Structure 1
Amino acid sequence: MQEAFNVDRRGDAVSDPTQHETERMRSGRGFIAALDQSGGSTPKALKLYGIDESQYSGDTEMFDLIHQMRTRIITSSAFGGDRILAAILFQQTLDRDIEGTPSATYLWERKGIVPFLKIDQGLADATNGVQLMKPISGLDDMLEHAVAKGVFGTKERSVIGAADATGIAAVVDQQFELAHQVLAHGLVPILEPEITISIPDKAEAESLLLDAILERLGDVPEDRRVMLKLSLPSTPNEYRRLITHPKVLRVVALSGGYSRDEADELLAQNTGLIASFSRALTEGLTVDQSDAEFDATLDASIQAIYDASVER
């Protein structure tokens, strides 16, 4: 399947790559691989991979190891554009090479996978039941750099920990303000107002979030589109109005702490919603696996997430 996909892409080489990527994100069958663990989440990701903190010293060694892990995933024969539409990268991954090729270029030209960049730089302390994003230093320079590297879009995460109307409105306002800055650079933003799955009023928070997003979508220019990355909803098809909204290119779901099997089961209940999983994607992968074992484990994970993501 991958070889045929690449032939199709080469045949379309004369067209605008951005237009090709846009159509792929709008109507392609598959899901988004989230490979964007940052400094705070990298130690946990490495530990799940079988590398304890005692095995490295300092950030440089840590980021070298996580890049080796990501490279192993991306170069695997299981990781291809036949089932994966896009991948979200951490800034350090964007600025590194994979097999001698810049990471974003490798993804698109070698795998047919659309590159996105995580741009948020951590969360502020909780207020009104939510955590807004910390100010992003040098954002315009970062976005210009992303464009130069061939990135198609960005991803920005904040967290909702309670069904607080004031807090949720603040999260959505901040998400859309940042989205407009991203759109001004010709990139497609993925807004990620994550709702913590363990809160008792999750369903109420989802309803408040839906209403707030629908209200702000009217501010998106007619010739622009945004994407949304949301926690799997308590009520199936809760976000259907967002999925079908003319200003929304695609709505994707994060696994949010569910196991891969749980996340796949919940995802499959939502028509038109596709996955953007991180931990659930890499579940079961370890550094000491042989290449054959690694590829087989990754292939099974990708196939399960793909099956849950395709149109039902």
Structure 2
Amino acid sequence: MKFMRIGAVGAETPAVLDENGIARDLSEIVSDIGPETLPYLETRMAPLTLSDLPEVPIHGARIGAPFARPRNVWCIGLNYSDHAAEAGMPVPTEPILFTKSGSTVCGPNDPILKSPSMTKLDWEVELGVVIGKAALEIGPDAAMDHVFGYTVVNDVSERAWQLERGGQWSKGKGYPHFCPAGPLLVTRDELGDPGDLAMRLSVNGQTFQNGSTRTMIFPVAEIVHYLSQFCLLEPGDLICTGTPPGVGMGQSPQRYLDIGDEVVLSVSGLGEQKQTVIASEKRS
């Protein structure tokens, strides 16, 4: 199944796509798609005839993240062998873990926010994994049983904050709108093997990233198993699994985002995102 959330920020309608690609309203079935409902969502869906559900108009509507704000956003750094080479860093022997704030999650086409103090704003197309049931110290063979599905993520990064300000990577990863997600949340059975998915990202029409999940160092099952040894993975948690080569920091000369730039990214089977960089505003 392919799930979406459609509508204004904070008022998104949960929806599922039927066999004809028409969005069907789930608001009478579940209050939302997120941490509270993912554990039983597929069970609720099983007896339904999707064509009997009301249609949700998509044309001209805002597409939200396909799940409500997660409790946790876990991220894996340098998880592609060719990206590690691009960065001039050794291939990790264990997954590199950092986190993003839940406030970074936004709709797939919502703008990327650029603060005046940002100087090295970068992009990263990633496969996002959404947890369906809690996992703590699970074995590798059980890992995929805890995955609900997959989505597209742009792990937006401010490299100067990440690498030149000391401390942890999370500093350059946590600004609002630094984690566009969606448009779809595709269930594990619907997508199939996550280990052979094409990934693309362009800026202003120029392709920078053209990779595949084939070059992942740590595949999805290993990531879920590994994280569960240290963290309680909860329903609705998002795991950003790393990016292939082609980020702005890896260009020669380096290429970073500025106001007005348009970023388009996709992962096969999961849809496309499109964001424009705009100036951020202080919030009181």
- Give yes or no for TM over 0.5: no
TM-score (norm 2): 0.27
TM-score (norm 1): 0.26
Identify the structure with the greater helix proportion: 1
Identify the structure with the greater strand proportion: 2
**Relative contact order (C-alpha < 8 Å, sep 6+): which is higher?**
2
